[in-house]
Amino acid sequence: MRILVICSLLFVILGCKKDKIRFVQKSYPEDSLISEGYMIDTIPIKYWKSFDLQKRLVAISEFKLINNGVYLYQEIVFDKHGDTLFDNSNFFICKTEIINKDSLLLKIEYDGIYKESYGLFLYNYNINDDFSNVDKLKLDTIFFDANKIEIRLLRNKKIKGIIKEIKFLSNTYKTRNVYFDYDKDYQDISEIKL
């Protein structure tokens, strides 16, 4: 999967005209991978699937354009039997429950890249589509409890935010930001079909 991240960075350096979305297939002989997904000019976007030479699905990766750059949003990695390798994956799953005719309960479960980490959800209803204004907004905070949170939303309301994963080390800490975008058209990465 490192090859996808390296290629993505190269795509950013080469630039993007943001004019045409196209479906492509790429082969990486040195990693024995074949990947397919969508691109805008030279930048990968949306969902990408990677297969080994036996055509077994080895990963589903989701890329987003965040603040004028490509970002590996989430990724599920599979073993040769199709089982999820949780230690190599990072993703979130959203479920909703109807509360009444005007609102619903959004349940988010996050499986991060750091084991024994803490999660925060920083959000604001006025975040731009590409998250370019995040630093200019006051963000509300919800703490994950056992990697889960619940948010009450008005029906058909969008919510954008950042899942901040924090891993404390002996003298310092590591963080990872996962940009979160939920609306009525949201689809979990775990539900992407072959």
Is residue 127 within 8 A of residue 134, CB to CB? The reply is: yes
Residues 42 and 104 in one domain: no
Compute CA distances 184 → 25, 46, 95, 96, 140, whole Å: 29, 17, 12, 11, 22
Q: Is residue 30 part of a domain?
A: yes
Note down the domain range covering 176.
91-189
Say if residue 9 is in the same domain as residue 75. yes
**180 within domain boundaries:** yes
Residues 97 and 26 in one domain: no
Provide the number of structural domains found in the chain.
2
pLDDT tens for the 194 residues of the chain, in order: 444 444 444 344 344 444 588 888 877 776 677 888 988 888 888 889 988 888 889 999 988 888 778 888 888 899 888 888 887 888 888 888 889 989 989 899 887 777 778 888 999 888 988 888 988 999 999 999 888 999 998 887 888 898 888 888 888 988 888 888 887 667 777 777 65
Estimate the share of the chain in helix, then strand, then coil, as percent rounded to the nearest 5.
15, 55, 35
